[in-house]
Amino acid sequence: MNRMSGSEALVEALRREHVEVTFGHPGGANMPIYDALTEFNTSPNTGKGIRHILARHEQSAAHMADGYARVSGKVGVCMATSGPGATNLLTGLATAYMDSSPVVAITGQVPTFAIGSDAFQEIDIVGMATSVTKYTFQPLRARDIPYAIKAAFYLAPTRRPQPVLIDIPKDVQQLEDDIEFPNTVHFPNYQPLPDPDPTIVKTIAQMVLGSQHPIILAGGGIKMSNAYRELQAFAELLVAPVTTSFMGKGAFPENHPLSLGCMGMHGAEQTNKLLPESDILLVIGSRLSDRTTGKIEKFCPNTKIIHIDADKAEIGKNYKFPVVSLVADAKAALTALSREVEAGMMGQHREAWVKKAHEVIEATVEMDTASSTLSGVETVKLLRKILPSHAIVTTEVGQHQMWCEQHYQVIEPRTFLSSGGLGTMGFGFPAALGAKMAKPDVPVVDIAGDGSFQMTENSLATSVEEGIPVTVVVINNRMLGMVAQWQRFFYNRRYSAVNLGSSPDFVKLAEAYGAEGVRVQSSAELKAAVAKAIRSTITTVIDVPISPEENVLPMLPPGAGIKEMIVG
């Protein structure tokens, strides 16, 4: 038992969870926490301190924590004050929630006696965050804080990872109390996922072994469960081609002979067309969202779909009739399946199917086009060529993101981060900073659009002041390109509120923040700029002007079946 303040208890509890970095912004209601952070970090007795990265907007702080979590596989921590600080976090928490990323958010709250009085900067963040978190805590005594932290770090990364919010009233931060640090927490209705049901595993193994035309559809669940190796081993054992959802991009090496690349709204046309020809589709760790399947009623009507997910509520949610379903962690499921498949292995009887899949794969590897001016597609392709396979790429949201889906081959685990579920413009740059904090020695590149980058471009200050060098490639069409594309396709070219004009000058903007800015007009210039930027000790913004008319193709129109793509 120790006598200490709530804030000190919080910082000590974070240290016990091996937190090395937090991302946040101080304000009136969380000043005691920031005071304790400083004291903790300057005390000779505390060993390695907790680094705090000062964001310029709380949304960015949450994205940084999210990016850190996605790259490191650890919990990302962000902090904000009450009221506007807390509400600014929400977009970041919602982003993490939709993509199943383990983020812990710690917000200050007005003192307990003022709660409910509409005090200055009071907001019911617990109520507001409930829809975008796995759980929320509001400790009302300092002695409850270590339990809340322990519980948050237990809940956030386990089963299906999701954010957890801890809202601490200011007086609870300040008051001294008798503090104990629990080693475990117990939630009767929340246990780690049990081992996969062996009977169901056996059934699935028999089905895939007996199938003539199997396809594996891997989702983001593979990444969250760190099942990269297990997926590859299983696919190779089965000799089954693998496609991924957008969130699953990178779950399977995209240069692997069995990789069909991404499917879905902007997936590869040949892959989308091959899917309904499968007799078994083994879906692992994907919620089969509208962006992945197109109109669900038209999705592979003659295919038997097997659905494996860590979250039982995903079974039957979007796709109503899986022939078999298994609630399990992806890694455990794939390990068990491999064992079963190995035991029941029969000779190769899928040569024709695999050959057909190979033809699909080859069709999706496009020729290089020689062009004097840079296009969005070429920029992305070129980046793939220049960047080493271990480089981490984040994206914003829009056309550039979909060009990345189509043309940026992801090879190594945890090297591609994007907001797929919520589609949060402004995610990529702060997430890149979080990624760089997790892997300081790896080049990190935010492939951005000019519209999205403007949502969180003030994180340039953070990157410069905190010394977190990343590269931002702004694929700049001076448009909200994806909206403009939809207006071209579905609104008879009636452009509405999509023209961004020539402001800002991204080179000058970067320079104003003390970062490097460079504009490139050709492939050669882009190559040189990227090569320099990824070695630089300072963040570089590379502005790549492209045509405002370039589309992302192919595309599955909303509400269309998986085979009904617009190709040009």
Partner 1 sequence: MIDDKQQRIISALVENKPGVLFRVANLFRRKSFNIESMTIGHAETPGLSRMTITMSCNYNQADQVMKNLDNLIDVRRVEPLDSRNATVRELALVKLSPGSPPTRPEIMNFIDTFRGSVIDVSTETLTVEVSGDQDKINAFITLARNYGLKEVARTGAVALSREMIPAETTAVW
Catalytic residue among 113, 120, 187, 490: 120
Q: Which helix (H) or strand (E) holds 448?
A: strand 444-449
For residue 136, which of 113, 114, 104 has the smallest C-alpha distance?
104
Catalytic residue among 74, 121, 207, 312: 121
Residue 544 forms beta bridges with which residues?
475
Q: Is 565 labeled as catalytic in the residue annotation?
A: no
Name, in order, each residue with C-beta under 8 angstroms of 416's C-beta and a sequence gap of 6 or more. Answer: 249, 250, 392, 393, 394, 404, 408, 410
Q: What is the largest CA-CA distance in the chain?
A: 72
CB of 189: closest distance to partner 1 in angstroms? 5
Burial (CB count within 10 angstroms: exposed 0-12, middle 13-18, buried 19+), residue 60:
buried
Q: Is 479 labeled as catalytic in the residue annotation?
A: no
Count the helices and strands in the chain (H runs, E runs).
22, 20
Catalytic residue among 482, 506, 555, 565: 482
Give residues in contact with partner 1 (CB under 8 A): 126-127, 130-131, 134-136, 155, 187-190, 311-313, 315-317, 320
CB of 188: closest distance to partner 1 in angstroms? 6
| β-strands 176-179, 2-5 pairing | antiparallel
Q: Is 170 labeled as catalytic in the residue annotation?
A: yes
DSSP assignments along 232-301, one per residue: HHHHHHHT--EEE-TTTTTSS-TTSTTEEEE-STTS-HHHHHHGGG-SEEEEES----HHHHSSGGGS-T
CB of 100: closest distance to partner 1 in angstroms? 13
Specify the residue, 136 or 477, whose C-beta has the smaller distance to partner 1. 136
Rounded CA-CA distance 454/452 in Å is: 5
CB of 317: closest distance to partner 1 in angstroms? 6
DSSP assignments along 125-156, one per residue: HHHHHGGGSSEEE--SSGGGHHHHHHHHHHHT
Rounded CA-CA distance 266/249 in Å is: 12
Rounded CA-CA distance 407/26 in Å is: 40
Catalytic residue among 150, 170, 223, 381: 170
Specify the residue, 327 or 387, whose C-beta has the smaller distance to partner 1. 327
Specify the residue, 169 or 261, whose C-beta has the smaller distance to partner 1. 169
Specify the residue, 101 or 272, whose C-beta has the smaller distance to partner 1. 101
CB of 315: closest distance to partner 1 in angstroms? 8
Specify the residue, 97 or 453, whose C-beta has the smaller distance to partner 1. 97
Specify the residue, 320 or 493, whose C-beta has the smaller distance to partner 1. 320
Place of tokens 């990265």: 53
CB of 461: closest distance to partner 1 in angstroms? 36
Q: Is 427 labeled as catalytic in the residue annotation?
A: no
Catalytic residue among 8, 12, 58, 378: 58
- Using the 8-state DSSP alphabet, how is residue 369 labeled? P
Kindly give the residue spans of alpha helices, DSSP state H, lying in 43-83.
58-72
Specify the residue, 131 or 255, whose C-beta has the smaller distance to partner 1. 131
Q: Is 252 labeled as catalytic in the residue annotation?
A: no
CB of 313: closest distance to partner 1 in angstroms? 4
Rounded CA-CA distance 564/298 in Å is: 10
Catalytic residue numbers read 58, 120-121, 170, 482
